[in-house]
Amino acid sequence: MILEFYINYTYYIFHNMETITMYLSEALKTIREEQKLTQKELSRMSGISYSTITKIETGVITNPSFFLVVKLCQALEITTDNLLKLITNYDVKTK
C-alpha cells in the first residue's frame, strides 16, 4: 500500500505541483483540527518539529518530503492514500 501511494504521490506531484502546494497544507490542517489537535500535540505525536508543522500549514514549506508526509499521516491515523484523495477532492471542488 505504501509503495502504491508513493507511485501515485510521485506522479501526482510531478504533474500537479501547484495543486499540491495549495491543498496539502489545507488538508493537513483540516484533519488536525477535526481531531482537535494543536500543532504542538501533532509535533509530539509525529516527531516533527512544531516549526516545521507550522511552516507546512502556512505554506512556507511547499513541498515536504514523502517521508515527512508519511510521518504526519501516521500520527493523524490516516492513510497516505486518503490524504491524496482529500487533496484531489479540494482540487475538484475548485474547478
The tally of CA atoms less than 13 A away on the side-chain side of residue 39 is: 12
Residue 68's domain comprises: 2-94
Query: In 10 A of CB 33, how many CB atoms?
Result: 11
Say what the pLDDT of residue 82 is.
Answer: 86
What's the domain count of the chain?
Answer: 1
Query: What's 28's domain CATH number?
Result: 1.10.260.40
Q: Give pLDDT tens digits for 30-89.
A: 999 999 999 999 999 999 999 999 999 998 998 888 899 999 999 999 988 888 788 877
